[in-house]
Structure 1
Amino acid sequence: MAKFFNNSVHRRQFIQGLGLATGAALTGSMIGVSRSARAEEFEISMQLGWLISNGQLGEVAADKLGYYKDAGLSLKIVAGGPNVDGVASVASGRSNVGQLSSSPSLMLARSAGIPIKCIAAGYQQHPFTYFSLKKDPVNEPKDMIGKTIATQGTARILLRALLAKHGIAEGDVKVIVMGGDMGPLMTGQVHAVTGWQSNINALKILGDQRVDMRLWDAGIQLYANPYYVTDETLDQHSDKLAAFVSATARGWDWVRQNPDAAVDALVERYPNLDAESERQAVGLILNYVFNDETKAGGWGTMKRENWEAQIKTYADLGQFKNEVPSVDDVMTTSILEATAADRPKAG
């Protein structure tokens, strides 16, 4: 499941891919929030970085329960995928809110000159995990030495970061690029594979022999499902963004209290999703959405220190082709501060 942004992106490629529309967006001449067909409602068009999944449980619930309507908004969720450039869609103004799978994608885009900024963190910790088997487990980074690790091409940088943090030479670990298939682990071709811990269907094949080493626990601490907007949208429509965040927070709180009903609502809206698998996953998802951080700071909270550490990690590995972005370039707490009283504090 290649959910990480290609780190070779740069501003010129974005402009070439989108033509004059993106050029206008990058110069600040396009409006970010559009009025929906329904009178007096503003449409929030939320562009995903990947396919629609259980990561949208809260938005689906909020929409079904009328929370967006109550806030004077309407919601359209736009699926991403392997051939969809979600960041370009938001930068061009086709969508006014975006959600990336992983926070480094936002940092890289900002460094490439794309004027986007994170306003809230969907998952407090990233589910990216190294999976191995009990017969030859990878419990900690040093266990990778002398072994073969299969990972997605866009996630190789995460392995490099992990090895660097633990003082392990890259040559001591053999890396094979793969997709989301767990088969090579089961057949003994590799010692560990990577994926999201929340991808229940893909992990079923590993059964009770599965061993997990989360990237977060190994010291590379990224946010997942960060919400982002352009600088222009933030500047001109902060009230609409605050209304969106408040309603979304209410939706996720309802999911926390009604997980089975939330899965029913998700599968009703997106029948291609498997209800049984989603019921197995919902508890795990909620543990990523709500934890001690949200108990203190409310749903969607995020810390400057975490972003600073991420930027430093990527800078040290030479991943920024242009100027290294500052924390204020890539995130703002202004919307979180404006909605502090509305966002549930639960963990």
Structure 2
Amino acid sequence: MRPKSLSPIFPARREFIGACAAGSLALAAAPAAVFLSAGGHAESPARINFQIGWLNSNNQTGEVCAKRMGFYEQEGVELNIVQGGPNIDGLSRVTAGRAEVGQLSSTPSLMVAVSQNVPLKCFAVGAQQHPFCFFSRKRAPVRSARDLLGKRIGVSPTSLILVRVFLAKNAIDLRDVTLMTTGSDMTPLVTGEVDVMAGWLTNTAALKILGADRVDLRLWDAGVRLYAHPYYATLQTIVDRPDLLARFVRATSRGWEFAFNNREKALDLLIAEFPHLNAEDERSALDVMLSYAFNGATKKGGWGIMDKDVWADQIELFARLGQFPKKVPRVDDLVTMDILNATRDIRPRIG
């Protein structure tokens, strides 16, 4: 099936308000199977509306496993996954208090929002390296950034900023490539309407059409160190309810650990939660997703860990691109390590 006609893309354009109390975080780090009120009565679970930035998918396999295996319940949490989509502004919903926790596909949106004084911070990341990639064919392979010179690159509008960052990092002028609007379908690459397609390695269903003829050039391998799937909350939630976020992280990390060790069962749970998904497509996608959820960094620091140096790299790149019209955020404006520190001994070390 032929895609819609292609057209050129033209490029568009609070200090941490207090440290969490040490006593609260120490309490948050303790296992919590039963929650009692001051009178000794069991309390109702704390509801967490979890706003994701996309339609329900395998990106939430860990959360689904944690939900269906009772890990959130053991933490006194009731998790409600709220799907997003193209017409839903998840950042605004979390900022307005309609959701306690949010997750974005990539870190740039959060960085730009914080630079405009939106009171949000990242407290964990789901993908240790960004799975964004440039795909080409063996007959005209793109194995390095310089191989993109003169090429027609298919890219979706929502991914344009990632391509621009890649080009800027590798000193390639926008005039030296042709950016074409596409979706996630790889057909334009197969038919020769573009020379390169940009997309996510986790989108294995779309990539099947390329088969063994596929050549990959990852963003991360070419020096663009971005995180994907950052978990974020408002500064007020981080300061006032660190225990809630710690309970969320404990349960979620156990869910991802379960998925890693029990892949077929995790797939069954995912399809039971989201029946619209195709089991065969999701089987290969889950393996890819798990390779980004766990690596050498998580083996050392545990699931969800972040490196402030990686955040500093991201800030420098986006400042160079002029993406911060109000102010250039500092790392500590964007990130809190308190929730990860409170759950240090719980989060699985796999890699």
The aligned counterpart of 1:299 is: 303
The partner residue of 1:151 within 149, 155, 161 is 155
Structure 1: give runs of 5+ residues left out of the alignment: 1-5, 9-37
Rounded to whole Å, the distance in 1 between the matches of 2:161 and 2:64 is 33
Name the counterpart of 1:275. Answer: 279
**TM-score between the two structures when normalised by the length of structure 2:** 0.87
> Do residues 44 (structure 1) and 53 (structure 2) align?
no
**Cα 1:7–1:228, aligned 2, differ >3 Å: closer, same or farther?**
farther
Structure 1 residue aligned with 2:8: none
The secondary structure found in structure 2 opposite 1:311 is helix
Deviation at 1:184, TM superposition (A): 1.1
One-letter identity of the residue aligned with 1:117: K
2:118 corresponding residue in structure 1 = 114
Matched position secondary structure for 2:124: strand
Paired residue for 1:53? 57
Partner residue in 2 for 1:264: 268
Alignment of 1:17-28 (within 5 A): none
Once residues 64 and 7 of structure 1 are traced to their aligned partners in structure 2, the CA distance between those partners, rounded to angstroms, is 42
Q: Distance in 1 between matches of 2:282 and 2:71?
A: 23
Q: Which of 342, 345, 351 is residue 341 of structure 1 equivalent to?
A: 345
Distance in 2 (CA, whole Å) between partners of 1:161 and 1:300 is 24
TM-align CA RMSD: 1.4
Q: Cα distance, 1:166 vs. partner?
A: 1.8
Aligned to 2:251: 247
**Is 190-199 or 155-164 further displaced after alignment?**
155-164
- TM-score normalised to structure 1 length: 0.88
Q: Which residue of 1 aligns with 2:28?
A: none
The secondary structure found in structure 2 opposite 1:213 is strand
Match of 2:93 in 1: 89
1:106 deviates by: 0.6
1: CA distance, partners of 2:158 / 2:286: 26
Q: How many Å separate the matches in 1 of 2:165 and 2:336?
A: 25
Equivalent residue for 1:188? Answer: 192
Q: Deviations over 1:112-160 (max 9, x none)?
A: 2211100001000111111111111111111111111111223222222
Among candidates 278, 284, 288, match of residue 284 of structure 1? 288
> What letter is aligned with 1:335?
I
Runs of 4+ in 1 over 4 A off after TM superposition: none
Cα distance, 1:7 vs structure 2: 7.9
Amino-acid identity (%)? 50
Q: Are 1:71 and 2:75 matched, yes or no?
A: yes
Unaligned runs of 5+ in 2: 1-10, 14-41
Task: Find the aligned partners of 1:180 and 1:256 in 2 and give their Cα distance.
Answer: 27
The Cα offsets for residues 207-257 of structure 1, whole Å up to 9 and x where unpaired, read as: 221111111111111111110000000011000100110111111111110
Superposed displacement of residue 170, structure 1: 2.1
* Secondary structure in 1 matching 2:220: coil
Number of residue pairs the alignment of both structures matches: 313
Give the structure 1 partner of residue 84 of structure 2. 80
Instruction: Report the secondary structure of 1:217's partner residue.
Output: helix
> More deviation in 202-211 or 56-65?
202-211
* One-letter identity of the residue aligned with 2:75: A
Find the residue that maps to 1:118 and give its secondary structure. strand
| Distance (whole Å) between structure 2 residues aligned to residue 155 and residue 282 of structure 1 | 22
Cα distance between partner residues in 2 of 1:167 and 1:203: 28
Shift of 1:311: 0.6
Alignment partners' CA distance in 1, 2:137 and 2:79: 42
AA matched with 1:322: K
* 1:42 to partner: Cα distance: 0.2
How far apart in 2 are the matches of 1:61 and 1:69? 12
After TM superposition, the structure 1 = structure 2 runs for residues 195-214 of structure 1, keeping only pairs within 5 Å, are 195-214=199-218
Q: Using the TM superposition, name which of 226-235 and 151-160 deviates more.
A: 151-160
Partner letter of residue 340 of structure 2? L
Letter aligned with residue 137 of structure 2: L
Single out whichever of 152-161 and 280-289 deviates more from structure 2. Answer: 152-161
* Alpha-carbon offset, residue 77 of structure 1: 0.1
Q: Does 1:332 align with 2:314?
A: no
1 CA distance for matches of 2:73 and 2:159?
38
Q: 2:232 aligns with which of 222, 228, 232?
A: 228
Indicate conservation of the 8 Å contact 1:126/1:215, yes or no. Answer: yes
